[in-house]
């Protein structure tokens, strides 16, 4: 439960502060941001519960490993480039994060497909 609540607060904060507060309505006051936080918390929690009912047959340990792999592959390009290159822009950092995350996701899918192909007679 502590992991779920931490992830829910992280997702909710990102949605309410970064997406709503910086992109959708930059002039939002504290009350509006709090309302966005509460709505995001309910939506995020319901989404997690609904998706959680569908993963009964999955190996949770493997899924946690995948989540960490995608997170690490997403942040690594941004961290390396921003530390070693002063010309890093927000667009470049975002592109690096998206590219790293997509490559990690593609490699996970490739391994899953290879495992399935290897198990066929």
Tokens (6 digits) for 108 = 């996970």
Query: Does residue 30 sit in the same domain as residue 75?
Result: no
* Tens of pLDDT, residues 48-77: 888 878 776 667 778 888 888 888 888 888
- Whose tokens are 């690096």? That residue is 96
15 in the same domain as 45: yes
Rounded to whole angstroms, the Cα distance separating 72 from 78 reads 10
Q: Give how many domains the chain has, as a whole number.
A: 2
Question: Do 50 and 72 share a domain, yes or no?
Answer: no
Same domain assignment for residues 48 and 3: yes
Q: What are phi and psi of 53, to 5 degrees?
A: -75, -15
Which pLDDT tens digit goes with each residue over 81-102?
888 888 888 888 888 889 888 9
Does residue 104 sit in the same domain as residue 69? yes
Q: Which domain holds residue 106?
A: 58-121
CB 103 within 8 A of CB 97: no
pTM (predicted TM-score) = 0.52
Do 48 and 64 belong to one domain?
A: no
């Amino acid at each position: 439960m502590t992991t779920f609540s931490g992830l829910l607060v992280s997702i909710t904060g990102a949605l309410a502060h970064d997406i709503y507060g910086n992109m959708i309505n930059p002039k939002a006051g504290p009350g509006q941001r709090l309302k966005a936080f509460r709505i995001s918390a309910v939506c995020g929690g319901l989404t997690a519960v609904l998706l959680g009912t569908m993963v009964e047959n999955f190996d949770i340990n493997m899924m946690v490993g995948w989540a960490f792999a995608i997170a690490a592959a997403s942040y690594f390009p941004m961290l390396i480039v921003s530390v070693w290159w002063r010309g890093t822009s927000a667009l470049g950092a975002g592109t690096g994060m998206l590219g790293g995350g997509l490559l990690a996701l593609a490699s996970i899918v490739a391994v899953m497909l290879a495992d399935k192909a290897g198990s066929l007679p």
